[in-house]
């Protein structure tokens, strides 16, 4: 074999060898990717914030009706109901607890006046979730003065209840 034939043979072998290694070299230069599964849980979120922490009805005479509105902000990531509950007793200025005959009413979800009692009344029913700023809810209240209540200033408590629908 002559020198030029040997060089040519070596070049041909190198070419075949290079072609055989080319896929291996190409694989080393490619990116590799894997997928990871990420799991998380979003908890139900409800926030009820009274923008009016207390209200004062104007003086009422027996047989008269006066109205006030309670304002609240609701934030929720689930459908929700808003309820109200109260009691039939009130405290006087001297701290005595008495039964009251005057009636406190709320405008319910059907847009009717309903007496506030120890049984909850639905004020808002089946409301969809809110955005992060929430919504402002106005709750109309009515006080009907009664002849069986002696003159005086009375205080009673009402409780608003935000209930998720899950």
CATH of the domain at 113: 2.60.40.1090
Domain annotation covers residue 70: yes
DSSP lists the bridge partners of residue 138 as: 71
User: For residues 115 and 22, which has the higher predicted lDDT (pLDDT)?
Assistant: 115
Domain annotation covers residue 98: yes
Residue 9 CA, chain-centre distance (Å), reads 80
pLDDT band at 88 (very low <50, low <70, confident <90, very high): confident
Domain annotation covers residue 64: yes
Q: What is the pLDDT of residue 29?
A: 74
Domain annotation covers residue 5: no
Q: What is the pLDDT of residue 19?
A: 55
Locate 70 and state its tokens.
């309670």
Least confident of 2-11, 106-115, 128-137: 2-11
Residue 52 CA, chain-centre distance (Å), reads 19
User: For residues 67 and 166, which has the higher predicted lDDT (pLDDT)?
Assistant: 67
Domain annotation covers residue 33: no
Locate 84 and state its tokens.
């109200």
Tell whether the model's pLDDT for residue 22 goes beyond 60: no
Q: What is the pLDDT of residue 84?
A: 96
Domain annotation covers residue 41: no
Residue for token pair 């009413």: 105
In this prediction the pTM is 0.75
For the chain, percent of residues with pLDDT exceeding 90:
71
Domain boundaries, position 151: 46-164
* C-beta of residue 71 within 8 angstroms of C-beta of residue 52: yes
Locate 125 and state its tokens.
């029913």
Domain annotation covers residue 26: no
> Which candidate, 101, 88, 78, 116, places its Cα nearest to that of 150?
101
Domain annotation covers residue 82: yes
- Give how many domains the chain has, as a whole number: 1
> Which candidate, 70, 80, 95, places its Cα nearest to that of 47?
80
């Amino acid at each position: 074999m002559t020198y030029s034939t040997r060089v040519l043979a070596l070049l041909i072998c190198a070419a075949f060898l290079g072609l055989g290694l080319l896929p291996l070299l190409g694989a080393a230069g490619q990116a590799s990717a894997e997928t990871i599964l990420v799991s998380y849980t979003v908890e139900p979120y409800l926030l009820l914030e009274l923008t009016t922490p207390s209200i004062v009805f104007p003086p009422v005479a027996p047989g008269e009706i006066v109205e006030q509105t309670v304002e609240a902000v609701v934030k929720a990531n689930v459908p929700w109901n808003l309820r109200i509950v109260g009691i039939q007793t009130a405290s006087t200025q001297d701290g005595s607890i008495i039964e009251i005959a005057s009636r406190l009413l709320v405008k319910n979800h059907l847009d009717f006046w309903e007496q506030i009692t120890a049984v909850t009344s639905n004020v808002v029913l089946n409301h969809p979730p809110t955005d992060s700023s929430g919504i402002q809810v106005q709750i109309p209240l009515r006080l009907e003065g009664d002849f069986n209540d002696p003159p005086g200033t009375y205080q009673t408590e009402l409780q608003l209840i935000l209930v998720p629908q899950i």
